[in-house]
Amino acid sequence: MTVTAPNPAPAAEVPKSSGTRLVDRVFRMRELAILVVFLVMIAVTQAGNSEFLSEQGIKDLLLNATILVLVATGQSLVVITRNVDLSVGSTLGISAFAAGLYLQDGGNPVVAIALAVLLGIGFGLLNGLLVSFGQVPALVVTLGTLYIIRGIDSIWVGSRQITAADLPDGFVDFGSGGVSAVPYLALIALAVLVATAYCLRQFGSGRELYALGSNPEAARLAGIPVRKRILIAYTFCGALAGLAGALYLARFGNVDSSTGNGYELTVVSAVVVGGVVFTGGSGSVYGAALGALLLTSINSVLPALGVSSVWVMAINGILLVLAIAVDRIVALRVASALKKRNARHG
């Protein structure tokens, strides 16, 4: 019932031999729209405050978005299969603390990151198993694991805290450093994003995620291993939440038992604003990443324009509702445009 994307004029016939595919073009339009909103917002801000796009300004913008982009990328995969993972905030928090604790004891940073990712994979597997084999609605299961993981985190961490002073200097430098204005962390996120998008598009199992989100019963009848695919989506989502935990540690150097609290809702907002349809089957990780970039940028834009940051939440909410409304309207238009094409084809 929801196609996410504006349709090119219905009369435009796609040239049969060219590689341009209608479905893809339609998605790109949706992403383009977010990109335009983002660029306009940046341009307006820059016009109002010329300091905004300094090297440090750009760096901050990208750094702020990095972690959300990573988690949103993982979340998109799950949402595409018509599920959701609400436990990502808890997973991020516990992975960050685990990595921090290991580094505090003089561990190797690479191993610390791997540790965080493994922890994330573990929780992702747990979610995936519960959802795919337990046949329980994802919303409920992952709400459960959200609290379970947060509970374990609270008991384990207690009132302890990890600060930048406990971490090796190299790790902290890595978290704030970069190639001129582009932080290392953003490069990592970008690499993950591009690789994920490529796999989703180029491999059968990636397309199968879309298929089973689009029509689960048909997916079963088409012989797609539905449970396995859902398991993979959750595991990947967990892994990225773990990785995001490690990067969070590197970026902020400060982790306690409440790290990542409530983060899942920001992630889901980013994904939906980015055009990944909540009922599954359509959207792209690029869209989700743009959604994440847009949402985090608002945090920097408002202060730069002298607007109180109390508006941030309200604006995020408006964007979310707008995105859904636009999707719905566009879906209706696409449907009627397709019907017309249909009629012409007899």
Partner 1 sequence: MTHPSDPGPAPVLALKDISKSFGAVRALRDVSLELFPGEVHALAGENGAGKSTLIKTLAGVHRPDAGQVLLDGTPVAFHGPGDARDAGIAVIYQEPTLFPDLSIAENIFMGRQPRRALGRIDHKATHAATAGLMRRLGVELDPDRPARGLSIADQQIVEIAKALSFDARVLIMDEPTAALTGSEVARLFGVVRTLREQGAAVLFISHRLEEIFKICQRVTTLRDGAWIASEPLDGMTEDDLVRRMVGRDLDELYPKQDVEAGEVALSVRRLTREGVFTDVSFDVRHGEIVGLAGLVGAGRTEVARAVFGIDRWDAGEVEVDGRILTNGAPSTAMAAGLALVPEDRRAQGLVMDMSIERNIGLTGLRTTVRAGLMDRGAERSRSLDWAVKLQVKYARIADTVNTLSGGNQQKVVLAKWLATGPRVLIVDEPTRGIDVGTKAEVHRLLSELAADGVAILMISSDLPEILGMADRVLVMHEGRLAAEIPRSEATEETVMAAATGRAAA
What is residue 179's three-state secondary structure?
strand
Query: Alpha carbon of 154 to those of 90, 148, 299: distances in Å?
Result: 10, 10, 28
List the one residue from 191, 218, 321, 325 that touches partner 1 (CB under 8 A): 218
* 211 contributes a contact to partner 1 by CB under 8 A: yes
Of 21 and 160, nearer to partner 1 (C-beta) is 21
Binding-site size for partner 1 (CB under 8 A) equals 40
Residue 9 in the binding site for partner 1 (CB under 8 A): no
Considering the complex, what minimum distance in angstroms separates the CB of residue 2 from partner 1?
A: 9
Tell me whether residue 18 or residue 180 sits nearer to partner 1 (CB atom).
18
Rule CB under 8 A: is residue 96 a binding residue for partner 1? Answer: no
Whole-number Å distance between alpha carbons of 234 and 304: 38
Is position 274 an interface residue for partner 1 (rule: CB under 8 A)? no
154 burial (CB, 10 Å; 0-12 / 13-18 / 19+) is: middle
Q: Which is nearer to partner 1, 26 or 188 (CB)?
A: 26
Among candidate residues 116, 106, 120, the one with its CA nearest the CA of residue 170: 106
Using CB under 8 A, pick the residue from 158, 203, 309, 329 that binds partner 1: 203
The reply to whether 334 sits near partner 1 by the rule CB under 8 A is: yes
Q: Is the Cα torsion angle 235, 239, 244, 245 positive or negative in sign?
A: positive
Who contacts 301 (Cβ-Cβ below 8 Å, separation ≥6)? 41, 42, 45, 52
> Would you state the structure tokens that stand for residue 84, as one six-digit string?
């959701």
Q: Which stretch binds partner 1 (CB under 8 A): 14-22, 85-93, 118-126, 238-246?
A: 14-22
Is 22 a binding residue for partner 1 by CB under 8 A? The answer is yes
* Binding-site member from 139, 140, 163, 220 for partner 1 (CB under 8 A): 220
Residue that has been written with the tokens 């449907």 in this structure = 335
Q: Which residues contact 150 (CB under 8 A, 6 or more apart)?
A: 89, 90, 93, 261
**Residues 6+ away with beta carbon under 8 Å from 307:** none
**CA separation, residue 233 to residues 48, 227, 295, 318 (Å):** 42, 10, 24, 29
282 binds partner 1 (CB under 8 A): yes
Q: If binding is defined by CB under 8 A, does position 332 make contact with partner 1? A: no
The single residue listed with the structure tokens 């595991």 is: 235
Q: Is 207 in the site for partner 1 (CB under 8 A)?
A: yes
Instruction: State in angstroms the smallest separation of the CB of 36 from partner 1.
Output: 24
Q: Does the protein bind partner 1 through residue 275 (CB under 8 A)?
A: no
Q: Return the residue of 9, 11, 19, 180 that touches partner 1, per CB under 8 A.
A: 19
Q: Which residues are near partner 1 by CB under 8 A?
A: 3, 13-14, 16, 19-23, 26, 201-204, 207-208, 210-211, 213-215, 217-224, 277, 281-282, 334-335, 338-339, 341-342, 345-346
